[in-house]
Amino acid sequence: MNRKVTFIICSLLLCSCNREVDFYFNFGSQSLCVYKSSFYNLSIENDSITPGGKSYEGAISLFWTDSANSPPRRIYLDRIPKGYSVYRGGIKSSEKRISLKGNSVYTITSTGIAAVGCSIKVWTNHRGEVIKAIQMPQLGNANGDSQRNYE
């Protein structure tokens, strides 16, 4: 019995690792959109570094905490939906919008069921608007898919 349960759990985890990125960035509305699910947890991390090798800013994390409602399928950067707890650099924040730094590169990761992460990488212009996005290959992706460009 114990082996059977272990096998089923391992099989489910392996299958979930082959999941393709299920969200994208809409340039016109400057929003994150999900294909089939919802945004439960979201991490936005600035990959750019200062000339001294330090991060420009701490990661922005959104966690869905509203147990009575489902999280949204779209998140506009200029208005974070109610129901999310927002953290910047690990510290709880009262921010109601996501302001990206100009001329930067960010990795945006969404985790859902079984904590399988899907990521996209985005580039901003001098005003902090996203101008380019690519899908990042996932660990355990059996297809060996390369990055998908959303320009």
Beta 23-26 vs 31-34: how paired, if at all? antiparallel
Query: Does pTM top 0.85 for this prediction?
Result: no
* 61 vs 118, higher pLDDT: 61
Query: So what's the pLDDT on residue 20?
Result: 47
* 101 vs 56, higher pLDDT: 101
Question: 123-133 burial, b if ≥16 CB within 10 A, otherwise e?
Answer: bbeeeeebeeb
Kindly report, residue by residue over 79-106, the tens digit of the pLDDT: 999 999 999 988 999 989 999 999 999 9
Backbone φ and ψ of 35, nearest 5°: -75, -55
Dihedral sign, CA of 132, 48, 128, 83?
A: positive
Query: So what's the pLDDT on residue 112?
Result: 60
* Other CB atoms within 10 A of residue 32 CB: 26
Query: So what's the pLDDT on residue 8?
Result: 44
Rounded-to-integer distance, Cα 98 and Cα 62, Å:
10
Kindly report, residue by residue over 28-51, the tens digit of the pLDDT: 999 999 887 788 899 999 998 778
* 54 vs 119, higher pLDDT: 119
Query: So what's the pLDDT on residue 111?
Result: 75
Query: So what's the pLDDT on residue 14?
Result: 40
* 145 vs 61, higher pLDDT: 61
Residues 6+ apart with CB under 8 A from 69: 83
Give the pLDDT band of residue 58 (cuts 50, 70, 90).
confident
Query: So what's the pLDDT on residue 109?
Result: 92
Both ends of the chain: CA-CA distance in Å?
50
Q: Does pLDDT of 7 surpass 60?
A: no
